[in-house]
Amino acid sequence: MKTNLALFAAAVCGSGLLLAQSYPHAYPREGAKKLFDNDRVTIWEVNWIKNVPQPIHRHLYDMAGVYLRYGFINVTTPEGKVNASGPFDVPRPYFQKAGITHKEEAVGGPGDPERLAIMVDLKEPAASGALPSVTSEAQPAFPREGAKDVLDNPRVRMWDYTWEVKKPAAMHVHDRDAVEIWVTGGTLLVKTPDGKSETRVVSAKDARFIPKGRTESEEAVSGSPRAITIELK
């Protein structure tokens, strides 16, 4: 019996069925750093480091993010097919369905850039139940004047917005959980409905999770802070 089971396992493994199940999740891996984690999302800073071998991996979750720097990479399927990734403008909003299996390896010479992105694994809501509804007199965070709708699908909606000095965003409420990814830095004066205020300094590639129901307004104090905000559906 043991011999038969071993032969069966070997046959299945040879067909690729067991091997497919053994692929690790896309992250963590060399060049990827976890920035935040909760029941809804895991946020990763992903650097594609040139000429560093990477394993075949499987994306276990739908994923959204923003490419902040372009660099050459080769994408290889489990069957060995190699596809070179062509150039694109940044920042580039991005979405990918779960189940994609491949490896991504940065290539290029000493003077070539390395790709950089903030990627967000989209996990399910907390097991404790549905997210609470939002009751607020403030307007929704999005849409708002000056915000560009750059990606919309059944899982996420993404907005590109730049804060201008002496042009505050009105008091608003985030009616969805969201992730804010900074494209350029600066300093914001942030106010809440209770009259409190704080100075928030942000830098390119910073990211934060915004829980549903947070109400605030922001005004640029210096620089032209720009962020792409991913609203979770």
Q: The tokens of 128 are what? A: 């404790």
At 3 the pLDDT is: 40
Residues of the chain with pLDDT under 70: 1-21, 125-136
3-state secondary structure of 14: helix
Q: How many residues are present in the chain?
A: 233
Give Cα separations from 29 to 34, 68, 118 (angstroms).
10, 19, 14
CATH class of 139-232: mainly beta
At 85 the pLDDT is: 81
Predicted model pTM: 0.86
At 128 the pLDDT is: 42
Partner residues linked to 106 by β-bridges: 50, 73
Q: Say which residue the tokens 């999302």 belong to.
A: 41
User: Is there a cis peptide before residue 110, judged by omega within 30 degrees of 0?
Assistant: no
User: Is there a cis peptide before residue 143, judged by omega within 30 degrees of 0?
Assistant: yes
At 133 the pLDDT is: 56
As a whole number of angstroms, the distance between CA 37 and CA 44 comes to: 9
At 90 the pLDDT is: 97
Do 23-122 and 139-232 have matching folds?
Answer: yes
Say if domain 23-122 classifies as CATH 3.50.50.60. no
Helix (H) or strand (E) holding 13: helix 2-15
- Where are the chain's structural domains? 23-122, 139-232
